A and B are shown apart, each in its own frame.
Chain A
Amino acid sequence: MSGFDISVILDALPLLAKGLGLSLGLTAIAMIGGLALGLVIAIVRLSRFRVLALLAALYVNGFRAVPLILVIFWFYFLVPLLLGRPVGALYSVLIAFVMFEGAYYSEIIRAGLKSVRPGQWQAAQASGMTYLQAVRLVVLPQALRKMAPLMVTQGVVLFQDTSLVYVVSLHDFMTSASIVANTQNRIVELYVFAALVYLALCTAGGTLAQRLSSDRQRAH
């Protein structure tokens, strides 16, 4: 091993880009799916349907009590069993991420909904709106503004967590970098490059979160 050889990174770029594509794609789908699922769970938890609210709470606390890597494993082995046919690592991972993120996003959304003053609920109700109308038209729009920074932050964490898919032999960005590093025996180059890419993307996410949160302060 002599010097810092950039060419090994350039040669590996197609493979690394493919890995990054998987990481970003997984992040995007898990965020969108997780937000949708989290929204439903949060609304159910805050509703007056006691049994459903309890089930939703169990779901959230259950998923938050186990590490993501375990959830990935479970779904890898469980989903084919439940469906009775193999689904492939990618689909099982997608389902695992969406369900896991749903638990986390539901907590962010629930806190956001609860942070809206009770008087706003009362005003909406007093005007004859139903519970769901009050959520959709009055409470959620206000809550979303407050939650946006936290959601982006969670997205950054999620992006980093996509590296865990190596356990089911998927090649995300980190795994791809690792493969090249080992096969080419260029560990320093690849791991420095990987760190720089993570640093750049996560810093961008962090900056966005910060800007959203200062926007919010200015709006009040």
Chain B
Amino acid sequence: MNDMVEMIRIEGLSKSYGDVAVLRNCSLDVARGEVVVICGPSGSGKSTFVKCINGIEPVQAGRIAIDGENLPSKPAAAARVRARVGMVFQHFELYPHLTVLENVCLAQIHVLKRSRDEAQEKARSLLRRVGLADKEASYPAQLSGGQQQRIAIVRALAMDPVAMLFDEPTSALDPEMIGEVLAVMLELAREGMTMVVVTHKMGFAKAAADRVVFMDQGEIVEVAETARFFAEPASERARLFLSRILTH
């Protein structure tokens, strides 16, 4: 591994559905251990952008490299690179037919080829860390949204990822559960995990982000250090966006 290499390198990403461009020539480098928050109005393409980083959304143009390794366009080859990047979804996407423990072990066993014992040991130690050790035999439907999302984070962490992607991880949660999920994310950030987080939670951005990316209409409009972004956003569009969301 080379410390000079960016952990995530995104160059000239473009994507469209028919005539509608959802991403226009987006480029972004994320350094090892850096936390980047992506914000912007809804429909700005930020969710699509983060899903392109590990290739689960195909793109028409652009290149992505994770830890110096190019993300291949062939799906089978991409799977190996993808396994190194954790992803957390807005709607958790835990597997409803499996218990919590099985959810956390599934990819460890079938993708990383870990033994069942090894996978379970890993799962249990991570579940303890997020305070959910007693839920390992539960099914996702029996848990609150906040608990499900913390387990989804654990499921991703169990793969020992080099980076984590979050797609609006708190948007589907009841307000009283947002805190517990953000706390886990904040702890991860402090431990030096490389993170790309799409969120509207500006409090999280201020507390954890090194830089903020502002997107609008499929474009990266502005990339700025967090303090600067909130104090004096360079673009008019970002100023407008901040004035709208910070008033409530």
A127-B56 in contact (CB<8A): no
* B63-106 Cβ-contact flags toward A at 8 Å (1 or 0): 00000000000011001101111110101011111000000001
B83-A128 in contact (CB<8A): yes
Judge if A214 is at the interface, Cβ distance under 8 Å: no
Chain A residues with Cβ under 8 A from B86's Cβ?
Answer: 126
Q: Which of A14-22, A115-123, A205-213 lies at the interface?
A: A115-123
Q: How far is the CA of A121 from the CA of B80 in the complex (A)?
A: 16
CB distance from A126 to the nearest CB of B (A): 4
Q: How far is the CA of A129 from the CA of B54 in the complex (A)?
A: 12
Chain A residues with Cβ under 8 A from B110's Cβ?
Answer: 129, 133, 137
Tell me which of B51, B79, B96, B106 contacts A130 (CB under 8 A). B79
Tell me which of A48, A126, A142 contacts B97 (CB under 8 A). A142
Binding site for B on A (CB under 8 A): 48, 117, 119-120, 122-131, 133, 137-138, 141-142, 145, 219-220
Judge if B208 is at the interface, Cβ distance under 8 Å: no
Tell me which of A120, A129, A141, A145 contacts B107 (CB under 8 A). A129
Q: How far is the CA of A125 from the CA of B85 in the complex (A)?
A: 11
| A48 with B75, Cβ < 8 A, contacts A122-B56, A127-B107, A128-B80 known | yes
Q: How far is the CA of A219 from the CA of B51 in the complex (A)?
A: 30
**Total residue contacts A-B, CB cutoff 8 A:** 69
| A126 with B56, Cβ < 8 A, contacts A48-B75, A142-B97 known | yes
A141-B79 in contact (CB<8A): no
SS of A interface (majority): helix
Residue with the greatest number of chain B CB neighbours at <10 A, chosen from A125, A126, A130, A219: A126
Judge if B111 is at the interface, Cβ distance under 8 Å: yes
Name the residue of chain B whose CB is nearest to the CB of A128: B83
| A127 with B83, Cβ < 8 A, contacts A48-B75, A133-B110, A137-B110 known | yes
Chain A residues with Cβ under 8 A from B79's Cβ?
Answer: 125, 128-130
Q: How far is the CA of A44 from the CA of B81 in the complex (A)?
A: 25
B95-A120 in contact (CB<8A): yes
Name the residue of chain B whose CB is nearest to the CB of A125: B56
